[in-house]
Every structure is written in structure tokens, then in C-alpha cells.
Amino acid sequence: MALKSTVFKAELQVADLDRGHFADYALTVARHPSENDERMMVRILAFALHAGPDLAFGKGLSSDDECALQEVDPSGVLQTWIEVGQPDETRIRKGCHRARRAVVLTYGARSVDVWWQQIAPQLARFDNLTVLRLSAEETQALGALAERSMRLSCTVQEGTVWLSAGEHSLQLHPDTLLSPNAG
């Protein structure tokens, strides 16, 4: 018998001063059986960082064709393709070609350094790709916030992210590894 996803509910309040976006979202997040709390919370953070009325979670780990999050405009055009983790170059290339904007939110310890060193030269050619990195400490702290029912508040200002859940609060500093605006 196949294992089923675990459903998490999150009430997310976003105040993104960098983009001028302020909204509340009621999220239903399915955590795949092979996914841990840390990765699921990185997906929720990716949602908060790119939140908008057309952004939705993809099938993620249960589908090779879909990314973690995607923004599809009302006419059906894929505007933003977002993946978390350390996807291979082929997956990122497909995302860059399918969407107007592609984002990878990578995380982890030394493995990210190795992944980035190997893939960076291949990704430099994409003028619509942003690659952000979270430290292992940041994602471990994010994973500790996971609960089946969550009330989260996220504030973004000048690239710094404050995320709170009840009495717990984190300050995150996503590092930009690649950006269309760089250079």
C-alpha cells in the first residue's frame, strides 16, 4: 500500500515591503511521504517570498513534470516557475524555457557548495533565472516551526526575511547566488 501525503494547513500573513505586496493566504500543503518538515517549510517560505494571487503549489515530488510552485496567469501562461532543493540542469533549463521567470531556492550544508560549483557555469546563460540559498541552520530552524496547523507571519524588507509562528521568530538572509539583475 502506498503511503499518502500528510496535509498541513497554514494561515500565512505576508508583508513584503520590497515588492509592496501585503496579503493573507490560507494554504493547504501536502507533504509527500519522502519529504521532511525542512523541505516543506522551505516551500512555504518560497511561497511567502513570491506570493501573489496566481501562485500555487505544484505536485512537486510526486511529479517529474511540475515544480514546487508555479504562477500561472488567468490566460493560462506560466509566469513563474519555482523549485526548491538542488535540481539538475535539465530541470532548471526546462523551467527557464517554460516560464517568464524561474527561481531556485536551494538549501543545505556542504552539498549546496558542491552542487553550485558544478552547475553554476551551465546556469549563467539564463537571463530569467534567480538562484537563492538558505543556510543549513536557517532551514533547520524553519523545519522546527512545522506543525499540522500553523499561523505564520512573514515580513520581507531589503532582502531580509522575518518569519514568526506564535512565540517563535526567525530572521533569514537568503543569499543570492545568481540573479538577472547581477552584472
Confidence category of residue 4, pLDDT binned at 50, 70, 90 = confident
Mean pLDDT confidence for 70-99: 96
**Average pLDDT, stretch 65-77?**
92
What pLDDT digit, counting tens, does each position of 128-164 carry?
Answer: 999 999 999 999 999 999 999 999 999 999 999 999 9
Q: How confident is the model over 37-61, as pLDDT tens digits?
A: 999 999 999 999 999 999 999 875 5
pTM, to two decimals: 0.93
Residue range 66-94: average pLDDT?
95
Do strands 168-172 and 69-72 pair parallel, antiparallel, or not at all (unpaired)? unpaired
HSE, side-chain direction, 13 A CA sphere, residue 78: 17
Q: Given this model, what pLDDT does residue 100 score?
A: 96
The string over 18-32, giving b where at least 16 C-beta atoms fall within 10 Å of a residue's C-beta and e elsewhere, is eeeeeeebebebbbb
Distances (CA, A) of 95 to 27, 71, 141: 24, 12, 29
Q: Would you identify the CATH topology of the domain 6-178?
A: Restriction endonuclease-like alpha-beta roll fold (3.10.640)
Cβ atoms < 10 Å from Cβ of 55:
18
* Domain definitions of the chain by residue range: 6-178
Degrees to nearest 5, angle at CA 138 with 33 and 83: 50
Return the C-alpha cell found at 124.
549563467
pLDDT of res. 62: 52
